[in-house]
């Protein structure tokens, strides 16, 4: 699944990597509490290496609010589960 982000270098196409034991792409679609690492996505748009890294850094920063939201919900879920066991 390809995604697009607006960066200072224009619109950049990217995707979750599709390789690995359980690929980041699979995890992003099927694991409720998965939080990605910066190495889990790749830029598809053809860019030189410096611009590619700048675009990747910018996309990663844009994803941080969503990643933090997921981490907060997971923390709350674990806390609620722990309290219900008591």
Instruction: State the total domains in the chain.
Output: 1
What is the rounded CA–CA span in Å between residue 13 and residue 60? Answer: 13
30 vs 3, which has greater pLDDT?
A: 3
Q: In what order do the strands lie in the sheet with 2-7?
A: 2-7, 10-16, 41-43
pLDDT at 45: 95
pTM, two decimals, is 0.78
> Residue 4: inside a domain, yes or no?
no
pLDDT digits (tens, 9 = 90+) for 7-39: 999 999 999 888 877 788 888 777 877 888 899
pLDDT reading at 65 higher than 80: yes
Give the rounded percent of residues in the chain with a pLDDT score beyond 70: 98
> Residue 43: inside a domain, yes or no?
yes
Which residue, among 1, 2, 4, 8, has the nearest Cα to 58 in the 3D structure?
8
> Residue 74: inside a domain, yes or no?
yes
Range of the domain at 23: 10-85
pLDDT reading at 1 higher than 90: no
């Amino acid at each position: 699944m390809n995604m697009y982000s607006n960066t200072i270098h224009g619109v950049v196409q990217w995707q979750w990597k599709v390789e690995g034991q359980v690929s980041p792409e699979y995890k992003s679609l099927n694991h409720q509490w998965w939080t990605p690492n910066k190495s889990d996505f790749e830029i598809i748009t053809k860019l030189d290496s410096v611009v590619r890294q700048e675009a990747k850094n910018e996309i990663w920063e844009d994803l941080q609010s969503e990643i933090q939201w997921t981490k907060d919900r997971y923390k709350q879920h674990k806390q609620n589960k722990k309290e219900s066991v008591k």
